[in-house]
Structure 1
Amino acid sequence: MKTSSKQQIIEAAGVTFERYGFKKTTMDDIAFAAGKGKSSLYYYFKNKEEVFEAVVAHEAEILVNEINSSLTTSSSAVDKLTNYVTTRMKRFVERGNLATALNDNFLATFSFIEKIRNNYHDFEVEMIAKIINDGIQREEFKSIDATFTAEAILTCMIGFEVPLLTKSQTIEDSVSKIRSVINMFLYGICT
């Protein structure tokens, strides 16, 4: 299947934004990385912000597909929640532009970033609450407020992003830490 010019630009821009960051990346850098003329970029996008928004949307779509795929590997709600958290956190440890958009305070000044953050937050709460409700129905989880619990789990994951990003030496180290966090979510710290 041939990749469209717009998709080539989005993929090249993703690599360029990761390498140089949003602030330092120019439309010239993106055009060069995509092997296109700058006029080709402006045919599809008004400015660098629009390109970045498309890159983040593309990465979010990839992550959503990875999460959905990980959820189909088990029927247990406990395993689904574990797979969800592991897949999501592993992607954030690997960085990428989606993680940057959700965590970078400089980018928060752009209205499109706030929209992305809100949409992604709502998606995550909904997905986690669905897993929890499924677990309640299957009697794997106590009868709890699924939406509140989903918000709490998401808040914990967001709180762990920076320590995982900055202190993990390898992806395996990160996954081990993520699994420890999941065990705390599910089983607490009491003996």
Structure 2
Amino acid sequence: MPISRTRDLLVDVARQLFARIGVENTTMNDIAVASQKGRRTLYTYFKSKNEVYMAVVETELQQLIQSLEEVANRNIRPDQKLTAFIFTRLEAVKETVFRNGTLRADFFRDIWRVEKVRKQFDIKEIELLRKILTDGVNEGVFEIPDVESMVMVLHYSLKGLDVPYIRGVFNEGGIERSQLKEDIIKLLFKGLLK
């Protein structure tokens, strides 16, 4: 089996184990046995369980980036693209966390460890947002005096929505998903002023 496929297999098996029994309860031996690879093979690719965990998170974030790149590359108006980008992102993050089962608890508990890996995701997300906003300004769809500032506001606003959106806090407050989308779009494109 080629090197990258073996590594990918180990990461996928680890993700499944982490989701099913938790990161803390999974051992390197569990990963080696479940992947039908020896411990020596596992240690060829990863020095520790923490490295395996970080590889799992990196893989998940790469899938998120691919989803966002697909939206950013659509041939639609910049305002439609930005709307699709925001909701694709929120849903993709939520699906990623829920797909990983008990990894969900580790995600919330060890956010700093995830943040370390997430830096590359953030850089790519900022690039994609910058392109969407710049295209919108160039096409006369958006009126943004400082694109760089707005990119950062959007980026950190989206990061701030991650946990409440994943946890369904908006639903607990009686806010329907369609209303939430409408409110975000209204705020984003119309602002708060009359």
TM-score by length of structure 2 reads 0.78
Unaligned runs of 5+ in 2: none
- Match in the other structure for 2:191: 188
| C-alpha distance after superposition, 1:37-80 (max 9, x if no partner) | 33321121111111122222222221111111122333311111
- Match in the other structure for 1:177: 180
Contact residue 144 and residue 150 of structure 2 kept, 8 A:
no
How many residue pairs match? The answer is: 183
**How do residues 85-164 of structure 1 correspond to structure 2 at under 5 angstroms?**
85-96=86-97, 104-108=108-112, 110=113, 113-164=114-165
One-letter identity of the residue aligned with 1:123: K
Q: Distance in 2 between matches of 1:132 and 1:138?
A: 10
CA deviation after TM superposition for structure 1 residue 100, in Å: 6.0
Please say which of residues 29-38 and 173-182 is displaced more in the overlay. 173-182
Q: Distance in 2 between matches of 1:155 and 1:179?
A: 20
Q: Distance in 2 between matches of 1:101 and 1:62?
A: 20
User: Which of the pair has more CA radius of gyration?
Assistant: 2
Q: Distance in 1 between matches of 2:186 and 2:55?
A: 35
Q: 1:21 to 1:176 in 2, by over 3 A?
A: farther
Q: 1:178 to 1:23 in 2, by over 3 A?
A: farther
Identity rate, percent: 27
Unaligned runs of 5+ in 1: none
Q: Distance in 2 between matches of 1:55 and 1:47?
A: 13
CA deviation after TM superposition for structure 1 residue 122, in Å: 2.2
CA deviation after TM superposition for structure 1 residue 189, in Å: 4.0
1:24 is paired with a residue of what secondary structure? coil
Q: Distance in 2 between matches of 1:59 and 1:51?
A: 13
Q: Distance in 1 between matches of 2:50 and 2:131?
A: 33
CA deviation after TM superposition for structure 1 residue 175, in Å: 6.8
One-letter identity of the residue aligned with 1:17: F
| 1:13 partnered with 2:18 | no
1:147 is paired with a residue of what secondary structure? helix
Contact residue 93 and residue 174 of structure 1 kept, 8 A:
no
One-letter identity of the residue aligned with 2:110: F
2:23 is paired with a residue of what secondary structure? helix
One-letter identity of the residue aligned with 1:106: D
RMSD: 2.9
CA deviation after TM superposition for structure 1 residue 165, in Å: 1.3
| C-alpha distance after superposition, 1:70-118 (max 9, x if no partner) | 2233331111111211111111111336x9699645352x5xx454232
